[in-house]
Structure 1
Amino acid sequence: MSKELLKSFQEAYSNLELFPLMGEKLMEQFRVDYGDDLIADLRQLVEDSPNGDGKFVFTGHRGCGKSSLLAEFSRQVQDNFFVVLFSIADTIEMSAVNHVNILFAIALNLMYEAEARKVQIPKTTKDQLYGWFATRTRTTEVELGAGLELGFDLLSFLKAQLKADAKVREEITQEFERKISDLVARINEIAALIQFATKQEVIVIIDDLDKLDLGRVNDIYRDNIKALFQPNFRIIYTIPISVMCDTFLWPLIGAETNYQTVVMPVIKIFAKGNNRLPDAQPRSEAKNILCEILQKRISSELIDKSAAEKIVVYSGGVLRELIRLGNVCCRICLRLIRQKPGEKIVINDQIIEEAIKQIRNDLSLRLGRDDFEILKTTYEQFEPEDVQQQEFLELLHGLYILEYRNDETWYDIHPILVETLRRRGLINGE
């Protein structure tokens, strides 16, 4: 077994994990210049917000790179604003997210960042705030006396409680559900103290709300959007792309935000319909961006050029799917290196076909007859019969169907699923 080859593929396998580029080190190592126009759009909305309390929506398919872009946006504006960026998935059990604990998480993360950056808040005021947090999360004096000091220790403990303890979340919800103005008042107090001490206006960015189940999204926004928008500072909310197809929910969100929305589109590999043509060639701009993303993570010595381009095409332009395909290819190669010591292993067409088969089987496993009919119609017409149909929205949310934008919005199915439709006789072979 070649130890060097094994080590190279292990490094690539690690680089191809699904993680957002949150820190400066990851940015320097893996970031590709993409989405600058979107960052400019976000900056325009945030910096030109007339009252300093604008609420904005950032949306796009899951896995299209929103988290990395928000991290880069945060880095670019941090000299002028007090930016608090956090993931709701890291803060609260996703199945338990509601409007109350979103607001409580805002308060907790504001305080955490103030402590992290040593914001000069008067001690008596700070102690009162810590006491408020401890009381609301039922943190006892015994726990506080057992080594938990006011500051990072307490806040880290409270964040862990909010994430893991259903009883704590339930008690917070029960206390504030009918007294949401009390919770908002405390949030505004913390933000005002930060702004006074730092001379910077506050921006809170809540990532991963777009990963919630659609039913949960509906519950959170349909009846509670006014509560979520009460804090008197700038907030960027992330929502699933499928919400934009909801004729009730989207106008409601649009009206409350004054339609201050930025959409991160999937990278369009082919112009509409071109991927149906024989010998179709991907758009060079899209291919170059996605190939560069791969090259940052996997050495060119480990993958054939044609194989890299094939991964690009089968990703559908979704960054997560690009990384996922590369990751599965590395897993296969690592297995082969151990099975066939001394043999030169690279990612080639054969490896990719095996990876595609694995992912195709995984995707197809959860599809029913109605789902296949929606996929067939979308493939043939570039749109479903009804964009409001719940089954279509779930397929869009789950990346089975992808939305593309240029002069118009159109849809296509995940490229890996095309062969599944052929085998089921739903579309003609090509």
Structure 2
Amino acid sequence: MKLDFARFFKACNPAKTLVMGQAEDRQYYIDFSEVRGARIIEELKRTITRLSPEDPTCQLFTGHIGCGKSTELLRLKTELEQQDFHVVYFESNQSLDMADVDVTDILLAIAREVSQSLEGVKINLHPGYFQNLFTEVASFLQTPIELGVEAELSVGIGKITAKTKDSPNLRSQLRQHLEPRTRNILDSINQELLKPAREKLKLQGKKGLVVIIDNLDRIDNAPKPNGQYQPEYLFVERGDQLKNLNCHVVYTIPLVLIYSNALARLNNRFGVSPKVLPMVAVQQRDGSDFSLGITLLQNMIMARAFPGENWQGTTELIGEVFDNQETLERLCKVSGGHLRNLLSLLYSCLQQDDPPISRDCLERVIKKESNSLTRAIDNDEWQLLQQVWQRKSIQGHEEYESLIRDLFVFEYIDEDGSWFDINPLLQESPKFRL
């Protein structure tokens, strides 16, 4: 069988998120739960479908940027829809400024996305509070926003946010106006949007309404005017408002909260512990290879090369993509089980040469990426990284936050709990061996 290079190249794009509702993407999906140490998506789904199908739930989900959260959340969406739930999934960074987010921004984004999704199934709701709020806001901002009396909720919110998205000054004015009305906005969303939506969805045979807000983990760890950092302000200080929506909600949250002193307060605020999606283990705590993890990563690559084919033990198929089995294994190990890193390294190889990818080509890419990654690391950080590599743990929290955020340190989970190691690309650097 010959490799379709154009299709393989497209399938390896690290910027692409697998959409499990699409047949072509499903053939590329690999279930890594066995080697991640946790069945996170099954737990999220079970909480919604089995433990609390009628009563609203709020769950928190996080992990390293690029570890596969969006793919897993889209898998959750598909599986919930197969069980007759109406699921609204959206990427928050498409409508919010990740450098400057407030609670009212998130609530309005949820209201708009839910309303728009409901309109797609012929459920049109016109919350009275929002009709009045739109007129009030248009007058307050002293900017023309044409909103008819029967304007859809999604249209009204969309016009207002579009006017303010690129203007920090207008956005600040709007927030000052909306902040004292946050409780009324939340009550209207619950009573005039979500409650009737759930009732009408039930008449259509749906078991419930689920909202999945992706990419909120990307909000900047920037200070707010009150001195709190943005993640802590939103999810701890204002968490009560975010958790009190009248439907099932799954929020992605910044990983930095897991390693901060605010974690206990976060757990107390939401009443649940955040679920962390760890890396795919390619080695064990003692440094020995973890063959199952490596094999599944190989499956991920070969499924993109030959979807539906059983490649294992077939040197002919491997030979279409790599010069030998050892080059494929080397690629998987140096990725550290970080899925986007794995695809990025592979993609860079494909940009340089046609398959089969040679070991020399891979080593050139590894060296380039290692140099790029180590450029910003100072001496103090190298000492911390050495400690992580030796101890397989982190001591304290704050000094390691940037190392984790910048993908210098990865978290893994085994039967004994969490353990940490440094990004294998850093181990390629001569500075690490000093």
Normalised by the size of structure 1, how large is the TM-score?
A: 0.82
* Partner secondary structure for residue 99 of structure 2: helix
For normalisation by structure 2, the TM-score amounts to 0.82
> In the alignment, does 2:280 pair up with 1:270?
no
The question of whether the paired residues in 2 share the 8 Å contact of 1:332 and 1:355 is answered with no
More helix by share: 1
Change (3 A) 1:118 1:170: farther
User: Does the 8 A contact of 2:62 with 2:253 survive in 1?
Assistant: yes
Structure 1: state its 5+ residue gaps.
276-281, 338-344
- Residues 409, 423 of structure 2: 8 Å contact kept: yes
1:57 corresponding residue in structure 2: 60
1: CA distance, partners of 2:255 / 2:113: 26
For 1:134 and 1:349, how far apart are their aligned partners in 2?
Answer: 64
| Helix, strand or coil at the partner of 1:177 | helix
Residues 290, 164 of structure 1: alpha-carbon distance in 2 compared, 3 angstrom cutoff: farther
Residue by residue, what CA displacement relative to the aligned partner does 1:190-220 show, whole Å, maximum 9, x if unpaired?
1112112111432211111122233421232
Which residue of 246, 249, 252 corresponds with 2:265?
Answer: 252
Show the 5 A alignment for 1:220-259: 220-247=234-261, 249-259=262-272
CA distance 1:223–1:143, shift in 2 (3 Å): same
Q: Assess, with a 3 A threshold, how the Cα gap between structure 1 residues 141 and 296 changes in structure 2: closer, same or farther.
A: same
Contact 1:101–1:172 (CA under 8 A) maintained in structure 2: no
Within the alignment, does 1:412 sit opposite 2:410 as a pair?
no
User: Relative to structure 2, which stretch is displaced further, 393-402 or 26-35?
Assistant: 26-35
**Cα distance, 1:183 vs structure 2:** 1.3
Q: Secondary structure at the match of 1:178?
A: helix
Tell me, yes or no, if the aligned pair for 2:86 and 2:209 is still in contact at 8 Å.
yes
For 2:236, give the aligned amino acid.
R
Distance 2:86 2:167 in 1: 29
Deviations 1:295-353 (A, max 9, x none): 233465232332221111011011111111111111222xxx6xxxxxxx531211111
Match of 2:375 among 358, 365, 370: 365
The 2-side partners of 1:173 and 1:155 are apart by 14
Match of 1:106 in 2: 110
Residues 254-308 of structure 1: per-residue CA shift (max 9 Å, x gap): 1122224322121111110224xxxxxx322211211111123346523233222
Contact 1:254 1:260 in 2 (8 A): yes
- Partner in structure 1 of residue 327 of structure 2: 307
CA distance in 1, matches of 2:273, 2:54: 14
Paired residues, number? 397
The separation in 2 between residues aligned to 1:162 and 1:329, in whole angstroms, is 42
Identity %: 24
Distance of aligned partners of 1:195 and 1:399 in 2 relative to their CA distance in 1, 3 Å threshold? same
C-alpha distance in structure 2 between counterparts of 1:392 and 1:196, whole Å? 47
SS in 2 for 1:32: coil
Assess, with a 3 A threshold, how the Cα gap between structure 1 residues 162 and 271 changes in structure 2: closer, same or farther: farther
Q: Does the 8 Å contact 1:55/1:229 carry over to 2?
A: yes
Aligned pair in 2 of structure 1 residues 315, 361: CA closer, same or farther (>3 Å)?
same
CA shift digits 1:353-394 (9 cap, x unpaired): 11112211221122122211111111122123x3312x3111
Higher deviation after alignment, 395-404 or 25-34: 25-34
Instruction: Name the structure 2 match of 1:95.
Output: 99
The reply to whether residue 38 of structure 1 matches residue 40 of structure 2 is yes
Tell me which moved more, 224-233 or 324-333.
224-233
- Counterpart CA distance in 2 for 1:186 and 1:117 is 21
Which ranges of structure 2 fall in alignment gaps of 5 or more residues? Answer: 222-228, 307-317
Deviation at 1:153, TM superposition (A): 6.1
Q: Does 1:295 align with 2:306?
A: no
Distance in 2, matches of 1:216 and 1:328, equals: 35
Structure 1 residue 152, shift from structure 2 partner: 7.0
Q: SS at the partner of 2:357?
A: coil
Q: Deviation at 1:9?
A: 5.3
Q: Contact conserved, 1:116 with 1:152, CA < 8 A, in 2? A: no
From 317, 322, 326, the equivalent of 2:337 is 317
